[in-house]
Amino acid sequence: MIFGEPERTEGDLSFVLFGIPVRVHPFFWLVGLLLGLHSPTAGAMIAWIAALFLSVLVHEIGHAAVMRSYGFYPSIVLYGMGGLTMYGPGQPFGARRPGFGGQVLISAAGPLAGFALAALVSAGMHLAGHEVVVVRVARLVPMVLVAGPIESYFVRFVNDLLFISVFWGIINLLPVYPLDGGQIAREVALRLNPQDGIRLSLILSFMVAGLVAVAALVQLGRDGIFAAILFGYLAVNSYVMLAAYSGRSPWG
């Protein structure tokens, strides 16, 4: 989840996967370390970083795969708390305009790829004889996890992978800019109201982000401070975008 492509640095990790250029900005590793401060050991931290990298990469590959199906050359950047998959108008090889359905599919493909990864991992662990259980994350979202000894770094890696792929995937589908759900909400709003769709989608983004920020504090207390700060920031960002787009009172 980033707003624009970050500048290149000497610390970037670059490679090509399935013909798609991938660049990992150093800030991706830094934020991953900060998010993994709860890890009790260095091994658990490594498991978290590996799960974060694989899950976010699969998410972005999902976006890129659909872009390729429309004839574009996508590229991926992993940065901060997520990633960005891009394609430029000067890059198509016989590219066709995605249209409404295509734009929605491109946005939804990332979370769907994460859900598919989680399903495959869960099925594989079950077939391998591991116990798969259902728990609730943040007291609300049901989550499939693998039961096992807490000191097992492999079990930590698998459960971190499942958590990021599913829970973060669900969060990413909220109709909040710049999340995938926000992009989908914009396309749907424009489809229903071409003249005012962007403004309406920004209002929805502002309201949902604000409600999630408040709910995180009320439902989770201290455990929800990070989520409250994040969605509070996204609410403010949506309001600023709304004011700039409207050029007048955002609500009228």
pTM: 0.86
* Per-position pLDDT tens, the chain of length 252: 555 678 888 999 999 999 999 999 999 999 899 888 888 889 889 999 999 999 999 999 999 999 988 888 899 999 987 889 987 654 544 556 788 888 999 999 999 999 999 999 988 888 887 777 777 665 556 666 676 665 678 888 988 999 899 988 999 999 999 999 999 999 999 999 998 999 999 999 999 999 999 988 887 777 678 888 889 999 999 999 988 887 655 555
Which residue matches tokens 């000497």? 10
3-class DSSP state for residue 76? Answer: strand
